Amino acid sequence: MAGALTKTTTEQRDLAVIEVQTRMVACDGGGGPLGHPLTYYEIGSDGTAVCGYCSKKFILAQNA
Ligand SMILES: [Zn+2]
């Protein structure tokens, strides 16, 4: 899965925690007025990453 990436969707904009299937995630806050510049994060060794802009938390799915 080279280049595998999870990007937040509009539907996930209001969620505080997002379960992802890939170690690379991209967050732009869901776009619109609540959005922020597209920023990439890598899931850390603890299995989570937190967006520095909107504080959304990404958790790597257990089956990923
Ligand atoms: Zn964000």
- Which domain CATH number covers 31? 2.60.260.40
- State in Å: Cα 31 to ligand 1 middle: 9
Task: Flag whether 42 is in a domain.
Answer: yes
**pLDDT exceeds cutoff 80 at 54:** yes
Per the structure, the count of domains in the chain is 1
Q: Is the pTM of this model over 0.85?
A: no
Task: Flag whether 1 is in a domain.
Answer: no
- State in Å: Cα 16 to ligand 1 middle: 10
CA proximity to 64, closest of 5, 24, 22, 18 = 22
- State in Å: Cα 55 to ligand 1 middle: 6
- State in Å: Cα 62 to ligand 1 middle: 22
**Is residue 10 classed as helix, strand or coil in its secondary structure?**
helix
CA distance 27 to 13: 10
pLDDT tens digits for range 25-47: 999 987 777 789 999 999 999 99
In terms of residue numbers, what domain contains 33?
6-60
- State in Å: Cα 2 to ligand 1 middle: 23
